[in-house]
Amino acid sequence: MYRKDEKEECCYNYKKKQQQAAIASIFSYKHMKRVYPVGLYRSSSSSLSSLSSNSSSLSLTLSQNSNDDSSLTDHSTSSSSPLDHKVSLALRLIAPPRQRRREQNSPTVPPRPVGVHDHDHDHDQDGDGGGEPRRCNWITKNSDKAYVAFHDECWGVPVYEDNQLFELLSLCGMLMDYNWTEILKRKELIRKAFGGFDPNVVAKMDENQIMDIISDKALSLVECRVRCIVDNAKCILKIVREFGSLSGYMWAYMNHKPTVNKFRHPRNVPLRSPKAEAMSKDLLKRGFRFVGPVIVYSFMQAAGLTIDHLVDCFRYKECVAHAERPWRHM
């Protein structure tokens, strides 16, 4: 007589052979040719009905298995189940009982919703999702802190004080040699070297003072740029005598009110404007240097004569609110 464990092993091998024979009848070349790809759902065609009948016979053959297996076979014979479920069921039924239990008990991970990507989540965090405020697109995570602070506090805010206008005009002229980040990191040193950009002080600088600024390695300013700032200060004094102030002269081109644009993309922001070209042309006639239309328009953006923050930037509404205040420009 066989021992009890040997008898159970023989029964298990016999059932396994029956299962494999039933699966082989389902996965014949004839049926696989019709069913492939597996993602197709059940239809009323003869090929699919034959597969359903074979699957039903497989369920009857395996009805003596565990309750888990019988529940799976009942699900496979339902008329509304897709064919890929039937195929996956058949593959699971030929696996050993321990492996089937492990697959059934393993937790299922819900798939990622269609169209949702990691960068969408990051975009929400950077925007209105409770993280950093949404800024203009040219401000990135790698932008320098000085550049970000300039965008958040100064750029686009209307300026009406002569010294500040002179400073911004001079800094924008340096964009021909440096970028905003390099300029802003040395802004305090430059401001101190030029006496707070007081036109009366800068216009009186002698040759020794000019050479001291040029030789200062911390400033790293080109000689022509330094002399240009001194010459422009002398031109500003002439404008003050004629118009009363530099602010009154420049804001007259804007009809004493900032131009509020509604750009949504960086590609929409221009490099110049008709008003910038008109101001540049007149400044050149008055003896100013390095005041081309592109530099002048950059100055207008920084000084708030034109508001070019993108409409989805958090600074847009704040700068517009500044622009709508009843300022006295004259």
pLDDT in tens, 203-241: 999 999 999 999 999 999 999 999 999 999 999 999 999
d(CA 234, CA 250): 16
Binding site annotation covers 151? Answer: yes
Number of residues that this document lists for the chain: 330
Task: Find all residues with CB under 8 Å of 125, minimum gap 6, and list them.
Answer: 131, 132
User: Residue 302 pairs with which residues in a beta bridge?
Assistant: none
Binding site annotation covers 256? Answer: no
d(CA 277, CA 223): 26
Binding site annotation covers 313? Answer: yes
Assess whether pLDDT exceeds 90 at residue 88.
no
Binding site annotation covers 265? Answer: no
- Higher-scoring residue by pLDDT: 138, 115: 138
d(CA 172, CA 140): 21
If pLDDT is split at 50, 70 and 90, which confidence band does 2 have?
very low
β-pairing verdict for 306-307 and 259-260: parallel
Residue type, 321: A
**Rg of the chain over CA atoms, in angstroms?**
39
* Surface-to-core class of residue 167, CB atoms within 10 Å of its CB (0-12 exposed, 13-18 middle, 19+ buried): buried
